[in-house]
Structure 1
Amino acid sequence: MSDFRKAVISAPGRERLARAPHGAKVVIHATAAETNGAFGMWETFTLPGKGPAPHTHTRETEVFRVVQGTYRFQCGDEEFDAPPGTVVVLPPHVRHSWRNISSELGQMFAIVTPGGFEQLFLEIEATAGAPDKIASIEARLGIINDETTALDP
């Protein structure tokens, strides 16, 4: 792990491309390994009607900024829409989900603290998104996912 004494640079054309469990393209900008565990950072590009299954993070707080499209978030018992420019902070240990409710490709910038969750996207890309692999990756990263939990052996 680095000691985070050097700049982390994600330049156009040199980003790390990955996938989310729901198939969205993810561009990784910084990882926990590069920030000494402080945070992870990425952008997600979500097709209309798509988003992750309801899930709970047991380790990290997530911060999203909607860049394009409108997303519908659920956090616990609360549901709200987030148009471009909206910043949403989701606490750990609270079941949540979101989906792109617009008719265009959605884009969100995201940060997790502490870092580490961004590794999910890189590992999904490496395993070609096999559902049985996703469940074990999520479990190892402390994610409780309503859809993949049933797939765990």
Structure 2
Amino acid sequence: MSDFQKAVISTPGSERLAKAPHGAKVVVHATAAETNGAFGMWETFTLPGKGPTPSHSHARDRGFLGWFAGLIVFQCGDEEFDAPPGTVVVLPPYVRHSWRNIGDEPGQMFAIVTPGGFEQLFMEIEASGAASPDEIAMIEARLGIINDETLALDR
């Protein structure tokens, strides 16, 4: 990975729309292709009662997650805590995590993950219509995203 040389600008209407494995709307602002692999950046809008389950971890990704809206309960390792707007969680690789929107309004999260590439998962789920855990895990495996779900497939 080397530095990228051109600014990445995401204005309203120019971003890419995608979908997270838990069905949340994802707005992709920067991709690994645009940052020369440095990071990916997106917003996630999680519907009430939803969130990524079960808890999972990532083998190579470091995540910076910040909440702007919603009533979120976050699990990080063995700790569970409320994550009101303004909460920031920084995740190293291999730390199990999940969250759930316990409010009545969509939860809005801003994420930066390094190295870049994880955002491609959301775009491929949207493009392919993948919905089952096996379909999503196959996309993850193809992209080199290794987490508990892909390891469980033994593929």
Instruction: Give your verdict on TM over 0.5.
Output: yes
Q: Which residue of 1 aligns with 2:74?
A: 73
1:8-19 alignment, distance < 5 Å: 8-19=8-19
Residue 35 of structure 1: how far off its partner (Å): 0.7
For residues 147 and 139 of structure 2, the distance between their equivalents in structure 1, rounded to whole angstroms, comes to: 9
TM-score, normalised to structure 1's length? 0.90
Residue 70 of structure 1: how far off its partner (Å): 1.8
Q: Which residue of 1 aligns with 2:146?
A: 142
Q: Which residue of 2 aligns with 1:124?
A: 125
Give the aligned residue type for 1:130: A
Q: Which residue of 1 aligns with 2:84?
A: 83
Of 20-29 and 81-90, deviating more is: 81-90
Q: Which runs of 5+ in 1 are unaligned?
A: none
For residues 74 and 12 of structure 1, the distance between their equivalents in structure 2, rounded to whole angstroms, comes to: 31
Size of the aligned set, in residue pairs, is: 151
TM-score, normalised to structure 2's length? 0.89
For residues 29 and 92 of structure 2, the distance between their equivalents in structure 1, rounded to whole angstroms, comes to: 22
Q: Which residue of 1 aligns with 2:7?
A: 7
Q: Quick check: 1:69–1:106 contact (8 Å CA) kept in 2?
A: yes
Of 122-131 and 9-18, deviating more is: 122-131
| Matched-pair identity in % | 74
Runs of 4+ aligned structure 1 residues displaced above 3 Å come to: 148-153
Q: Which runs of 5+ in 2 are unaligned?
A: none
The CA RMSD over aligned residues, in Å, is 1.9
Deviations, residues 56-75 of structure 1 (Å, cap 9, x unaligned): 10011111111111211111
Cα 1:3/1:94, change in 2 over 3 Å: closer
Residue 95 of structure 1: how far off its partner (Å): 1.3
Q: Quick check: 2:3–2:38 contact (8 Å CA) kept in 1?
A: no
Residue 149 of structure 1: how far off its partner (Å): 6.1
For residues 90 and 3 of structure 2, the distance between their equivalents in structure 1, rounded to whole angstroms, comes to: 27
For residues 65 and 152 of structure 2, the distance between their equivalents in structure 1, rounded to whole angstroms, comes to: 28
